[in-house]
Amino acid sequence: MMYDVCIIGSGAGGSPVAYELSRAGFSVVVLEKGKEYKEEDFNKDELAVSRRELFTPDLKDEQHVIYELDERKERRRYLGSEHQWSFWNGSMVGGSSNLMSGYFHRMKPNDFKLLSTFGEIEGANVADWPLSYEELEPYYEKVERIVGVSGEVATHSFLEPRSTSRFPYVKLEENGVTKWFDSACKSLNLESIPTPRAIIPHAALKRNGCSYSNFCGSYGCATGAKGSARAALLQKCDASVITEAFVYKLESDATKVTKAHYYDSDMKTHEVSAKIFVLAAQAIESSRLLLNSKNSFFPYGLANNNHQVGKNLIFSGGGAGEGRFRFETLTHEQQKELMEVGLFFNRSLQRWYEYKKSGKKIKGGTIDFLFEHQNLVPRIKRAFYDKGGKILWGKALEQKIHKELTTSRVLNFEVFNDWLPTDECFVGIEEGVRDKYGIPVGAINLYSHPRDREVGNDLAKKAVQVLEKMGASEISYSISSAPPPNLVAGGCRFGENPQTSVLDKNCKAHALENLYVTDASFMPTGGSVPYTWTIYANAFRVADIIRKRLEP
């Protein structure tokens, strides 16, 4: 059978294309490496998530090789299976969007023109997008309606232009401690922002509302309230989804992709033919597939005659911090507010999205504040040691665990700032290491530009001031060069120049007439927000472009 469209990957980059084109009447097949799970398959099994990789491949079967370049430019090699270093984020229908926390911030207009706004940065490959915020804005709004985004539009210094004055869904119920945060921000002359979430507060869109379990990040949603690609899109469209289909090669002639070859769960090979192919396998794996799809027309990998595939890999710069609130410093009413179960602490700061330092304008970022995850396993592990660092046992451990869980609570913050693209951070192929399918694994070359950590530290210090003003104690933070594996982009950046980019403005490969890439691979820079909303919005945009091509 010749399909109109073959999509590799079913996450935030692939599902909008499947949703739009299948509903428009085109024949669409989605090849998904993982299994299919539905709401009834998800629960709060903490051991499955904390101690076992339930939704990601076993590293003995599928891994990456990691090369880390430190500040002294010394390179170390790590075999993922030996060091338990994983860059898998969720192999299942809907991809890692099933496991996201759903913090949804739009990129700002200046994020699309980082180079022209802030200038060149030595050692970084900063580039403007070939797309403007204004062109993407209608698709941000579309995601709000179709995927479901809840929140409250608050006026602040860096509020991006919006075509609507409010979110389609009211903000989620909030914990009383948010009042302390708002008060602290007011006294510090800061603008407290209710954090938009891709979680619907009540039944809508043929999905149930939030149950306020506080098990969002790393867990699948048992109600369907979270706007995963599976719940919001794939379960509502007519695309054919083939699960446990690992695509190992794209076949092409000089101008077009002709077939996708995949292994099924029994290690049998199959092939799919289509008029148009859409690659959305996750940034690292999309580059890996192209690099492994060599042929006589593309001897260095598909669409890679310009040697740009895999280059300019980016993550999210920043880090995290925390402060603890203890009963002994609180009133009875404050104690009750602190221990309210399940309600969200949805607050963000973007006061320093851009700021001046030493007389120069610097691109800053976002600080999200959230309660420590409800998962008991990591929370209890924190209580294993006394103040002197000695491990506790028996009654002493029991008493400390009980006190920590019942008379105190940790408020976390996460910093998001740009991870600058560099020549040293890219995806390659490790020919000498193969996965269970016999295919060379991806080689992830890591390097963090010093500016990333400088900005992250500046933002973390601002977050600490807020925690101090709120009355928190035991405040700490960590900003490092370690990349968050769930926030990865680049590798197939789009641009106007075919010599320095893989894709054109429409996310079509410069070198091939019918290959599009719609996961986060297309992004030249990532902004200072989580990527998912932008991935969704761009994929809806590309779906419109492909539909116009296919229409008679």
Per residue in 207-232, pLDDT (tens digit) is 999 999 989 999 999 999 999 999 99
Is the pLDDT at 320 greater than 70? The verdict is yes
Tokens 């869904």 appear where? Answer: 169
* Distance between CA atoms of residues 9 and 27, nearest Å: 16
Q: Reduce the DSSP state of residue 110 to 3 states and report it.
A: helix
Q: What's the confidence (pLDDT) of residue 305?
A: 97
Residue 350 domain flag: yes
Q: Which residues span the domain enclosing 216?
A: 2-38+62-153+167-481+491-550
| 115-163 tens-digit pLDDT | 999 999 999 999 999 999 999 999 999 999 999 999 999 999 999 999 9
Q: How far apart are CA 297 and CA 254, in angstroms?
A: 5
Report, as an integer, the average pLDDT of 433-457.
Answer: 97
For residue 332, what pLDDT band results from cuts at 50, 70 and 90? very high
> Dihedrals φ, ψ of 76, to 5°?
-120, 140
Angle CA 82–288–530, to nearest 5: 85
- Which of the two residues, 46 and 366, has the higher pLDDT score? 366
> How far is it, in rounded angstroms, from Cα 350 to Cα 366?
5
- The proportion of the chain whose per-residue pLDDT surpasses 90, expressed as a percent, equals 91
Amino acid at 507: C
Averaged pLDDT score across all residues of the chain: 96
pLDDT band at 552 (very low <50, low <70, confident <90, very high): confident
- Stated pTM of the model: 0.97
Residue in the block written with tokens 């709060």: 44
Neighbours of 53 (CB within 10 A): 14
In the block, tokens 């399909």 appear at: 3
Instruction: Report yes or no on 508 lying in a domain.
Output: yes
Tens digit of each residue's pLDDT (9 = 90 or more) over 161-183: 999 999 999 999 999 999 999 99
**What digits encode the pLDDT tens for the residues 519-544?**
999 999 999 999 999 999 999 999 99
Tell me the C-alpha distance between 439 and 454, whole Å. Answer: 39
How many other CB atoms are found less than 10 A from the CB of residue 135?
Answer: 13
**How far apart are alpha carbons 453 and 455 in whole angstroms?**
5
Sequence-separated contacts (24+) of 299-306 with Cβ below 8 Å: 301/429, 302/250, 302/252, 302/257, 302/509, 302/512, 302/515, 303/492, 303/502, 303/509, 303/510, 303/511, 303/512, 303/515, 304/502, 305/511, 306/498, 306/499, 306/500, 306/502, 306/510, 306/511
pLDDT above 70 covers what percent of the chain? 100
Q: Residue 203 in contact with residue 209, Cβ under 8 Å?
A: yes
**Is 287 a domain residue?**
yes
pLDDT band at 464 (very low <50, low <70, confident <90, very high): very high
Query: Does some domain include residue 54?
Result: no
- Going along 47-152, which residue ranges are E strands? 65-69, 75-79
Question: Does position 497 have pLDDT exceeding 70, yes or no?
Answer: yes
550 class by beta-carbon count within 10 Å (0-12 exposed, 13-18 middle, 19+ buried): middle
For residue 259, being part of any structural domain is answered with yes
pLDDT band of residue 377 (cuts 50, 70, 90) is confident
Looking at residue 375, which CATH number applies to its domain? 3.50.50.60
Provide the 3-class DSSP secondary structure of residue 55. coil
Per-residue confidence band for 51, with pLDDT thresholds at 50, 70 and 90: low
- Beta-bridged to residue 477, according to DSSP, are 321
Calpha distance 261→310 (Å, rounded): 21
- pLDDT above 80: residue 48: no
For the beta sheet containing 75-79, the strands, ordered from the edge strand earlier in sequence to the opposite edge, are 75-79, 65-69, 440-446, 426-434
For residue 65, what are the β-bridge partners? Answer: 79, 443
**Residue 503 predicted with pLDDT over 90:** yes
Query: How do beta strands 65-69 and 440-446 pair?
Result: parallel
| Separation of alpha carbons 422 and 368, rounded Å | 26
Residue 46 falls within a domain, yes or no? no
Amino acid at 187: S
Residue 49 burial by CB count (10 A; 0-12/13-18/19+): exposed, middle or buried?
Answer: buried
Q: Which residues are within 8 A (CB) of 164 and not within 5 positions of it... i.e. 6 or more apart?
A: 141, 144
**160 located within any domain:** no
Using the predicted structure, report yes or no on whether residue 413 has a pLDDT greater than 70.
Answer: yes
Neighbouring residues of 175: CB distance < 8 A, sequence distance ≥ 6? 337, 338, 340, 343, 344, 345, 371
What's the token pair of residue 551? 């229409």
Cα 272 to Cα 7, 21, 30, 31, 405: the distances in Å are 10, 18, 10, 9, 53
Number of domains, the chain: 1
CB-hemisphere CA count at 13 Å for 544?
11
- Taking CB atoms within 8 Å and a gap of at least 24, the contacts of 299-307 are 301/429, 302/250, 302/252, 302/257, 302/509, 302/512, 302/515, 303/492, 303/502, 303/509, 303/510, 303/511, 303/512, 303/515, 304/502, 305/511, 306/498, 306/499, 306/500, 306/502, 306/510, 306/511
DSSP state of 465: H
Q: What is the largest CA-CA distance in the chain?
A: 75
- The Cα–Cα gap between 490 and 284 comes to 8
What is the pLDDT at residue 71? 74
In a domain, 49, yes or no: no
For residues 363-377, b (16+ Cβ closer than 10 Å) or e, as one string?
A: bbbbbbbbbbbbbee
